[in-house]
Every structure is written in structure tokens, then in C-alpha cells.
Amino acid sequence: MASLQDQLLKAGLGDEKKAKKIRKEKNKKNKAVRKNQDSADTSLQDEIKAKKDAQAQLDAERNKAIQDKIELKSEHGKVKQMIQQLHITDFGGELSFNYVLDKKVKTLSVDQPSYNALTKGQIGLCVLEGKSYVMPSIAIDKIRAVDEAYVLVLNENTATEVEDDDPYADFQIPDDLMW
């Protein structure tokens, strides 16, 4: 089936020149419309790209948060394993060492060398799942780097400074008095 324009030309109702002129005008209008669509398409493409970039950034932030949670769980797992494996079991004795756990004063029976090590900061106490463990100070320092909440007691080993004109310099003050 021929177009209406072709049928009118066959019937002798139209002119070939007029038909070409009309086709050219129609093509010009189509080109103009396509150019406007292209500019609209580029702005639409820019908008889509901006949305994709924003979505990618949100995804990256979510992934970073998830990775941080995984690392934190891993670190806490390492701390639990360290406490369970490195705790000291041979410290029982007749001396009592008092410490605070969950707002309650607890007592730990220790021998003299362990008591001295506790007061000097060579060993300390950690807590895991409500239970306290005696740990070496090196392990406690590593645990403290991950989370301070695991460390109960680690005394600082500070040397007492003696003044030159102190009249009691010859008398040493015991730090482990028992009452």
C-alpha cells in the first residue's frame, strides 16, 4: 500500500516539487526533535550516573561497616581464645587478693609469689563471661589494646621516688600490709 502522498500524486492532485518540499520540512522537524531528545538524554544519563555513583558509595560504606563488625568479632574471638589458653592456674594459696567485679568485691586466694606479682603488675586479672582469670601482664597489654572491658586489674609498676632530704628515706613502707 502506497502512502497517501503517492496516491494523490498518481491521481494528479499533487505536485512532485511540493511533495519533496513537504518531505524536507518533515525531515527537518524530525531532526530538530531528535537533537532535543539527545540533549535531554544526556542530562538523563548524567542523572542516572550520579544516582549510580551515590548508590556505589552507599554500598561501599555498608561494606566497610560490615567488614569492621567482622574484624571486631574476630578480635574478640582472639581475646577469648587468648584468655582461655594463657591464663595461669597455679596461684592458689593462703593470702587473699581483693578486686571488684560487677560492683561486688571478690576475693582471690593466692600464694606469696603470685600476690607479689599482682601488686607489682607482673600479672593481673581479666574477666571473660563473668569469670575472672589470672593472666601475665604481656597478655593483658595485648587484650587491653583490643578492648579495655576484659581487663579487671593490672597494677602499674611505678618506682617510688625518694627525696634527698626525706628523714624517713631509710625506712621502707611495705605495700602489702595484711590486717
What is the reported pLDDT for 96?
83
Query: In DSSP terms, which residues pair with 96 in a beta bridge?
Result: 109
Residue 174 has pLDDT above 90, yes or no: no
Q: Please indicate, yes or no, whether the overall pTM of this predicted structure exceeds 0.95.
A: no
Residue 130 φ/ψ, nearest 5 degrees: 80, 0
DSSP the chain: ---HHHHHHHHTSS-HHHHHHHHHHHHHHHHHHHHHHHHHHHHHHHHHHHHHHHHHHHHHHHHHHHHHHHHHHHHHHHHHHHHHHH-B-----SEEEEEEETTEEEEEEE-HHHHHHHHHTSEEEEEETTEEEEEEHHHHHHHHHH-GGGEEE-----PPP--TT-TTTTSPPPS----
Residue 39 has pLDDT above 80, yes or no: no
* Cell numbers standing for residue 109: 586466694
Residue 114 has a CB neighbour count (10 Å cut-off) of: 21
Q: What is the mean pLDDT of the chain?
A: 82
Residue 59 has pLDDT above 90, yes or no: yes
- List pLDDT tens digits, range 99-119: 888 788 888 888 888 888 888
Residue 63 has pLDDT above 90, yes or no: yes
What is the reported pLDDT for 158?
55
Query: In DSSP terms, which residues pair with 107 in a beta bridge?
Result: 98
Residue 15 has pLDDT above 90, yes or no: no
Tell me the pLDDT band of 17, cut-offs 50, 70 and 90: confident
